[in-house]
Amino acid sequence: MANSNVTLHTRLRVLAMNLWWTWHPEVISIFTDLDPYLWRRVDHNPIAFLNQTTPDEIENRASELVLHSRINYAFRRLDEYIKKRKAWGAVHGGNLNSRPVVYFSAEFGLHESLPIYSGGLGILAGDHLKSASDMGIPMIGIGLLYQQGYFSQLLNQEGWQQENYVNLDIKNLPLQAVRDANGQPLVVMIDTRTGPLSARVWKLQVGRVPLMLLDSNVEENCKEDCELTSRLYGGDDRLRIRQEILLGIGGARILQGLNIFPGVVHLNEGHSAFAILEGIRRYMEYDGIPFHRAHRRVSQYVVFTTHTPVAAGHDRFPPDLVEEQLGLFREKLGLSHDDFMALGRVNPSDKSEPFCMTVLALKGSRRSNGVSALHGHVSRLMWQPLWPSKSESESPIGHITNGVHVLSWLAPQMYQLFETRLGPDWSTRMVHPDIWEMVDEIDDGELWETHQSLKMRLIRFCRRRLHTQSVRLGHDETVNLIDQILDPDVLTIGCARRFAAYKRGDLILSQTERLVQLIQDASRPIQIIFAGKAHPRDDDGKRLLQRVAQFSYNTAYRNRVVFVENYDYNVARHLVQGVDVWLNTPQRPLEACGTSGQKVLLNGGLNLSVLDGWWNEAYEGNNGFAIGHGGMHNDSSIQYKRDAEYLYETLEKEVIPLYYDRDVGGIPHQWVSFMKNTIKTLGWRFSADRMVKDYAERFYLKAATALSAETMY
Ligand SMILES: *Cc1c(COP(=O)(O)O)cnc(C)c1O
């Protein structure tokens, strides 16, 4: 064997350096088998794990456990994956195979060991890269490396959120320094009126897709700029616009530094929209064309995805700040202040209007979309004033509904069940609806037992977490009865989300007595697992969270209502794999898509949700439960009361009776038939593979073709 002198330690390091491992449980199980306690202690971080073990220790443990062949097999599988030629992109990718898609996002959620995401937007971006990699679509990600990431959450006695920030340790992360053509560390630099801003670049390998992360913590910067990329969504407007300058302009300059010509630039949300301006500047400089032609040309290859109809979700910067930070750049484009501001204004002649990143992105992209059918519609109405001469249906915003990266969210036990029923290659063929017909062949009892074992796993996870939390909070009753917390035979509802007002995470608490009756029902009780963070500066969100946490602290039903702290990738994975029902109660139509409910689909969970976002196009009566009929009211407090009433009614009349309707063997056949309908018809439709394929067919290939028709190089 040519490679026989390569140590297992080295092979494991190769595996750990590519995030491919995060969606391959067979690699994770190597680490948990080697040392489960260390694996937990290093927060599921394989690089940290290897940094704390010597090659000899690995060799010895592996021999004791006979792990050699598993490690070598995983190593070969990764190699085959990287080299695979027959993926979708190689066959259908056309122009993209010479000019990749460059995907910009302010956050990427890839795994709990890389806390450079805050929530849904980041997870979506991570899932997008993973599916692009699986499907062989040439792509490069661009983002920021936050040295402190997003906070970790603890609650105090009063249920008030405490935020904890820790510095990431670069040597424990799978990062490689990016070098330029001369072998020097690549540094990008941007001039602004408050001084130049520099950043170095790290590469994170996500399967076949490299993700470039900008890091402002370099010698060239003043102290303030070194801390520019410390935290995700921290700081004031000035810090934020400088972060976005770094992401958009700095990100585009990475490509120049590496001589990469993008075929498509995909802006995931408006944070990175300054990339449009850098594209324009480059064409003006290299091709000597005027601003307007360069702007039109750039818009040919820019794809823009907007993610929220909530006004506060769209960055807006005051004119003075824009001039201070982008004045030098504006001069290079040969624009007056007003002309520059017009790029980010709905009404260019309104001199008081701030500069909106979404407007810049919409004006600078030929192809843009919302993230569900309903959100597409809402976005067209919302941005209608940008195209005053067009009707809603003519407005150039379409929609592509989000999906989730199935292998990142699917329980290994479910994977195996599908493997035996649908065939070993089911996961690469999941976007073909016909393979899912075989789900009907799965025995009800087998599906139910698999689900129950996953629920038990979730319960054990919650008990471990609750134990630690309760010791800290001095909740002695909970500590003493920890083995009675949650019961696998009780209908289990998961309710985890960011605590923001429009998500109404407390809707289920609105009629407390009625809820307590359901929880304490003698024969057909329910139990609820809550989780979620509030933004550090959102006190309303924190009050919502507090209300939920305090409810869970009540000793009268502490065994049936729990709040698991620090909602992150890890907590989410346990929850979506083990719950019976995923509860989602946003104020319609403000949840643009919502992806957490999609994560339960193939795990056999059922959705109970307001008809908003993706659920509005997924619900069919026999594949989950709807709260209300999609009604809306101008007065949000009336809508709140109505939806609460619908929620209780649906629980009492549909969800609970269906769940507890059992045969003599204890199997709820009707419920299982809902599970099967969900798996069969929804799993693939709301997968990131389907989503990425939609982007490729409807946007990327067209954008890349339009661009190559215009440019020679
Ligand atoms: C999936 C996920 C989200 C997004 O959930 P939504 O219901 O779409 O808001 C947020 N946070 C974490 C940790 C997730 O895994």
In a domain, 191, yes or no: yes
Task: From 348, 478, 447, select the one nearest 677 (Cα to Cα).
Answer: 447
Ligand 1: residue whose CA is nearest its atom 7: 596
Euclidean distance between CA atoms 272 and 262, whole angstroms: 15
Same domain, 536 and 631: yes
Residue 40 lies in a domain: yes
77 and 123 both lie in a single domain: no
By most ligand atoms within 8 Å of CB, the mutation choice from 497, 575, 610, 691 for ligand 1 is 497
Dihedral angle sign, alpha carbons of residues 105, 109, 110, 116: positive
Amino acid at 273: A
Q: Is 578 in the same domain as 435?
A: yes
Q: Is residue 255 part of a domain?
A: yes
Per-residue pLDDT of 522-540, as tens digits, reads 999 999 999 999 999 999 9
332 and 436 belong to one structural domain: no
Element (H, E) at 13: helix 8-16
Q: Which of 83, 110, 136 is where one domain is finished?
A: 83
The predicted structure's pLDDT at residue 713: 42
Q: Which of 83, 117, 140 is the last residue of a domain?
A: 83
Q: Which atom of ligand 1 is least distant from the CA of 568?
A: 13
CA of 123 to the centre of ligand 1 (A): 7
Closest residue by Cα to atom 11, ligand 1, is 119
CA distance 12 to 444: 39
Q: What's the distance, Cα to Cα, between the start and end of the chain in Å?
A: 44
* CB environment 73-92: b (16+ within 10 A), e (fewer): ebbeebeebeeeeebbbeeb
> Of 25, 53, 83, which marks where a domain is finished?
83
Residues within 6 Å of ligand 1 by CB: 119-120, 123, 497-498, 567-569, 572, 594-596, 599
Q: Identify whether residues 141 and 67 lie together within a single domain.
A: no
| pTM for the model | 0.97
Q: State the total domains in the chain.
A: 3
Domain annotation covers residue 338: yes
Residue 422 resides in a domain: yes
Asked whether the beta carbons of 533 and 232 are under 8 A apart, the reply is no
Show the domain range for 43: 8-83
> Where do the H-state alpha helices sit in 164-305?
223-226, 237-245, 251-257, 274-287, 291-301
Cα gap 398→58, rounded to integer Å: 52
> Across the 713 residues of the chain, what is the mean pLDDT of every consecutive 10-residue run?
70 98 97 96 97 95 93 96 91 92 98 95 98 97 95 96 94 96 94 93 98 96 93 89 97 94 96 98 95 96 96 94 97 97 97 97 97 97 93 90 98 96 91 93 97 98 97 94 97 97 95 97 98 96 97 94 97 98 97 97 98 98 97 94 98 98 97 98 97 97 83 49
Instruction: Find the 521 Cα to ligand 1 centroid distance in Å.
Output: 31
Nearest CA to ligand 1 atom 12: 119
Ligand 1 atom at shortest distance from the alpha carbon of 567? 13
Same domain, 432 and 564: yes
Task: Check whether residue 73 and residue 102 sit in a common domain.
Answer: no
Q: Is residue 680 part of a domain?
A: yes
CA of 133 to the centre of ligand 1 (A): 21
Residue 484 lies in a domain: no
| CATH number for the domain that contains residue 219 | 3.40.50.2000
**Residue nearest ligand 1's atom 13 by CA:** 568
- Mutate which of 596, 610, 691 for ligand 1 pocket (most atoms within 8 A of beta carbon): 596
Residue in the block written with tokens 């990287």: 82
96 and 27 assigned to the same domain: no
Task: Give tens-digit pLDDT for 180-218.
Answer: 988 999 999 999 988 899 999 999 999 999 999 999 999
Give the Cα separation of 655 and 444 in Å (integer): 19
Q: Provide the β-strand partners of residue 163.
A: 153
DSSP code string of 48-113 = HHHHTS-HHHHHHHHHHHT-HHHHHHHHHHHHHHHH---SHHHHH-GGGGTS-EEEE-S-----TT
Task: Say what the pLDDT of residue 4 is.
Answer: 55
Counting from 1 in the atom list of ligand 1, the atom nearest the Cα of 532 is 11
Residue nearest to atom 3 of ligand 1 (CA): 120
Rounded to the nearest whole angstrom, what is the distance from the C-alpha of residue 119 to the centroid of ligand 1?
5
Ligand 1: centre distance to CA 599 (Å) = 9
- CA–centroid distance, 408 to ligand 1, in Å, is 13
| Distance between Cα 22 and ligand 1 center (Å) | 17
Whether 565 contacts 465, CB under 8 Å: yes
Whether 96 and 62 map to the same domain: the answer is no
Task: Say yes or no: 165 and 143 in one domain.
Answer: yes
What is the Å distance from ligand 1's center to 701 Cα? 29
pLDDT confidence of residue 710: 67
Residues 647 and 516 placed together within one structural domain of the fold: yes
Residue 468 belongs to some domain of the structure? no
Residue nearest to atom 5 of ligand 1 (CA): 596
Let me know: does 477 contact 705? Beta carbons within 8 Å. Answer: no
> Which atom of ligand 1 is least distant from the CA of 599?
1
Residues 64 and 103 in one domain: no
